[in-house]
Amino acid sequence: MEEDVLNALQTRTVYLPGGFDRNGKVIFIVNIVNDLQSWQRKCLELSVTYLKRSLSDLILQKGLTIIVDAQKDTARISRQHARFIYGLFRGLNITLYLVKSEGFWEKHVETCTKSYTKEEPIILSKARLTKFFDMHNLPEELGGSLQFNYDLWLQQHEFEKCYNNTLTAMENLQLLLQSNKSTLRPTEADAELKKCAQVQATVHNSIEATMDLDKEIKRQQKYQQIIDAFRHEHHQYLSPALT
């Protein structure tokens, strides 16, 4: 994973929570703020491109469901985002939902019963999501019960990057050692030894970084297991937002 892609994903502008709609289409969650600056557009572009590539052609052909959490947004900016998001998924069959705050509906008489047309988002409140989705397929911030550890997901993808970098560094060191074994001249020994030492240091640092990430992922997984066990044992005492 490239550094700019990782940085974009860390903003959590868009992510895959692991849920599906009632037609079996994968759900994307888009979080937007009351602005549409160039860096935010870039984060959306990089994140969506990466996440689409992580899905199989079969899943993409089935279509995607995009839920835009616009509860803290204005109607004007939300429409701008809607047009921009449609462009990011150009060529795919998508259904777009804009979730507005309850205060928005106090000023508007339209409801989500309005029929859906092509490239026209369905605008609804969080409470009305139950008309289209099962709550176990929606994350907690949208009133659902789907638990999704975004930090752990990012760490697992960062681990994959570190692991691949380590393999590449080890392969480079092996190639360097093999080439020196057959062609090294005495006058070149000092420079080549320094080069080998540098590559070896890269390998060592990559291995350490990978091991540190592995430890952190295991710690996060253990913590998540404790939280899940606590919720399961005490679910009758917890508020719906915590269960």
Neighbours of 48 (CB within 10 A): 20
Higher pLDDT, 2 or 243: 2
Give residue-wise pLDDT tens across range 119-151. 678 888 899 999 999 999 998 889 898 877 777
Extract the tokens encoding 50.
């990466």
For residues 38 and 132, state if they share a domain: yes
Whether the pTM exceeds 0.75: the reply is no
Q: What is the pLDDT of residue 241?
A: 45
The answer as to whether 207 is a domain residue is: yes
The answer as to whether 243 is a domain residue is: no
Neighbours of 17 (CB within 10 A): 22
For residues 114 and 158, state if they share a domain: no
Higher pLDDT, 107 or 121: 121
For residues 199 and 93, state if they share a domain: no
For residues 129 and 164, state if they share a domain: no
Give residue-wise pLDDT tens across range 179-223. 766 665 666 667 777 877 887 888 888 888 778 777 776 776 666
For residues 118 and 32, state if they share a domain: yes
For residues 10 and 111, state if they share a domain: yes
Contact call for residues 6 and 163 (beta carbons, < 8 A): no
Q: What is the pLDDT of residue 193?
A: 72
For residues 165 and 141, state if they share a domain: no
Give the chain's end-to-end CA distance (angstroms, integer). Answer: 33
With 80 as the cut, is the pLDDT of residue 87 above it? Answer: yes
Give residue-wise pLDDT tens across range 51-65. 898 888 999 999 999
Q: What is the pLDDT of residue 194?
A: 80
pLDDT band for position 229 (50/70/90)?
A: low
Contact call for residues 75 and 101 (beta carbons, < 8 A): no
Q: What is the pLDDT of residue 35?
A: 64
Residue-range definition of the domain harbouring residue 178: 151-237
Pairing between β-strand 14-15 and β-strand 26-31 as defined by DSSP bridges: antiparallel
For residues 117 and 232, state if they share a domain: no
CATH code, domain carrying 133: 3.40.525.10
Higher pLDDT, 241 or 148: 148
